[in-house]
């Protein structure tokens, strides 16, 4: 699990704290921490531990937004199936920015020029093969990365819908596999000629 340093989305949910249970069939629910229709921007994003869930294992999830002057949003989980597991594990932390915060203006990217001058290109098959050698196996519906172009500390990623694509749960704006692949794309900077586990 990899996290960007800043995340932005709009959501229609109204709660700031919720409890639920999830299994391996669950999807991402970031919008649960936003208020009705408002844009939510998270800064200083940290992912201390990736959730490791075995087949048929059930976890309880806690999302907490504290009341400090500079509040932190935290996502914790604990296994309901493994009594030896830690009481709670923190998977995600971030600092919500004020609702009036505006993204700084950025000049549009010339994609064709970036692709032509990129120092490295990684195909989707190569990307997933690399991480499969490291033991990270993803099902077809979670492999949306088609190609990555890298130049210095910048990357351009092309996503393509897997075929066939499983049905999506009603009410979801984006397929969970696409959301997950957005996180995966940061790992493009890790791909080398030979698979080596990051230290």
Whole-number Cα distances in Å, 108 to 49, 98, 111: 34, 25, 9
Predicted local confidence at residue 168, as pLDDT: 76
| CB environment 83-105: b (16+ within 10 A), e (fewer) | eeeeeebbbbbbbbbeeeeeeee
Most confident of 65-69, 153-157, 163-167: 153-157
Render pLDDT for 3-19 as a digit per residue (tens, 0 to 9).
Answer: 444 444 333 332 233 33
Walk me through the domains of the chain, giving residue ranges and CATH numbers.
6-96 (no CATH), 111-190 (3.10.129.120)
Predicted local confidence at residue 158, as pLDDT: 95
**Cis, bond preceding 164 (omega within 30 deg of 0):** yes
Mean pLDDT of 32-38: 51
Q: CB–CB of 88/58 below 8 Å?
A: no
Where does residue 119 rank: exposed (0-12), middle (13-18), buried (19+ CB within 10 A)?
exposed
Predicted local confidence at residue 129, as pLDDT: 93
Predicted local confidence at residue 195, as pLDDT: 55
Residue, of 36 and 15, whose pLDDT is higher: 36
Residue 53 has, within 13 A of its CA and on its CB side, a CA count of: 22
Predicted local confidence at residue 59, as pLDDT: 81
Predicted local confidence at residue 172, as pLDDT: 78
Strands across the sheet containing 6-10: 6-10, 39-46, 89-96, 73-79, 59-65, 18-22
Distance CA 5, CA 82 (A): 32
Percentage of the chain modeled with pLDDT above 70? 73
Residue, of 118 and 103, whose pLDDT is higher: 118
Q: Find the distance separating the first CA and the last CA of the chain, reported in whole Å.
A: 15
Predicted local confidence at residue 37, as pLDDT: 56
Mean pLDDT of 76-100: 82
Residue, of 70 and 35, whose pLDDT is higher: 70
Distance CA 52, CA 156 (A): 28
Query: Which has the closest alpha carbon to 110: 71, 72, 70, 151?
Result: 151
Render pLDDT for 37-55 as a digit per residue (tens, 0 to 9).
Answer: 566 777 888 888 877 777 7
């Amino acid at each position: 699990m990899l996290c960007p340093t800043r995340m932005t989305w709009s959501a229609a949910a109204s709660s700031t704290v919720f409890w639920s249970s999830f299994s391996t069939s669950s999807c991402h629910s970031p919008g649960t921490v936003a208020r009705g229709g408002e844009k939510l921007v998270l800064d200083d994003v940290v992912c201390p531990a990736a959730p490791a869930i075995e087949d048929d294992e059930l976890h309880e999830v806690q999302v907490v937004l504290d009341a400090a002057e500079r509040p932190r949003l935290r996502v914790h989980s604990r296994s309901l199936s493994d009594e030896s597991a830690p009481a709670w594990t923190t998977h995600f932390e971030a600092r919500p920015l004020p609702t009036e915060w505006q993204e700084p203006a950025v000049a549009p990217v010339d994609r064709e020029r970036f692709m032509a001058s990129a120092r490295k290109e990684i195909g989707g098959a190569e990307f997933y093969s690399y991480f499969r050698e490291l033991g990270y196996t993803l099902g077809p519906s979670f492999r949306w990365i088609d190609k990555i172009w890298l130049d210095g500390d910048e990357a351009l990623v092309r996503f393509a819908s897997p075929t066939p694509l499983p049905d999506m749960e009603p009410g979801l704006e984006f397929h969970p596999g696409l959301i997950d692949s957005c996180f995966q794309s940061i790992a493009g900077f890790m791909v080398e000629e030979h698979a080596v586990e990051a230290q």
